Structure 1
């Protein structure tokens, strides 16, 4: 792992620290993440049943460690866990709690047997909530970039992040034009991810943010293990390698990018 300590400030723009995988050592993970240089962790929701605990976790986090930021949404993969009334509940909760963003939302055409029409309705409804609340969105997109981009052109939100981006350079530029940053995580640390690494090298640095998606999609050094936000420096090191750039410069810019798109500090 690239050891950075207090010399940098990193933001993990996508980490499910609220899930059961971290139940036994969540605060220890958070403390180690702070030692690794993280100053912020964005925690996106996946279903309405988890909103209350997620909000409580972010509200109750101690001062010793990265700030935890909540995002609320209904993940497309968990359609069977979403009820019709969840959209109204989301609108109310957003008004009451004012999360950092709406997410994790989007379209997943990779998983078989997920109702595409219902996914699209759910996505469009959540984009409308985000637009009206003037909040950025955290996108989950698999095998559906063109469809998501078309919807984003119709329902204009104030930007956001295309999480775990794996589309083309052309699609990346379209997201940029719509005010989005592109999230890169653990897959960038694997040398076999040749296409992704070429993309990370070719994109303007101003369009890139870092993420872990912990506990999933772990880094190469921890293959087969639970992913963790404390491994974010590994993603930074991989980005520095493929761009042949100074990791401290990259840390500063990607953190600036995250603050800008998520309106942190405003």
Structure 2
């Protein structure tokens, strides 16, 4: 069974995968696999970009999204023409010869990965470059073009050791996708610790983060710039404790919430003991 494995930590947002997908499918007729993709309006592979945090603690995450080739595909289940074909390798294709363009499958897809071609009166999506695979290619164009191994493609068994840490997009949908994600972006908290009396950052301060709901405790130390980061944490409410020899300890609780967004808590001031 073929699957995609996408490691978000390795994706730099170069958009190579998105570009070569357009190059492969726009104005190219790959029947019986797919009719040509329009020049505009469709992205069978799309890199979603999200800016997170607040200045100066800001990060940008990139998430490549394509058809998830779901085992329990709601688009296929709702299609009145039975226009979705499951290949032996697990890829799910829209058969252009069966599709009548009713487009009810488009709203059924929870990932926004199906598109209406009004000119051809068909629905379209990623084919996993099945035409290339059948011609001897080991992987689709998007995977071939990824310079950082953020996108990989192969047999499920080949990735078995890694998949224990993998996640699905929208797991609540229960679609059992064939696209597995590693290191999907979770919340972060960042800030700095400083002695405001002398206007100097404090290096090596111990910063403790406690999840108010679960009691889970994480710990880090401030770097050479007085900065601290807690990355890939759950969306929750937290309290922060800061300690450094020669300073009074500090407890911060009233504004540390990542429920809605990633958070820069700004400067936490410590005061000397003497």
| TM-score (normalizing by structure 2) | 0.25
Which has a greater percent of strand? 2
* Higher Cα Rg, which structure: 2
| TM-score (normalizing by structure 1) | 0.25
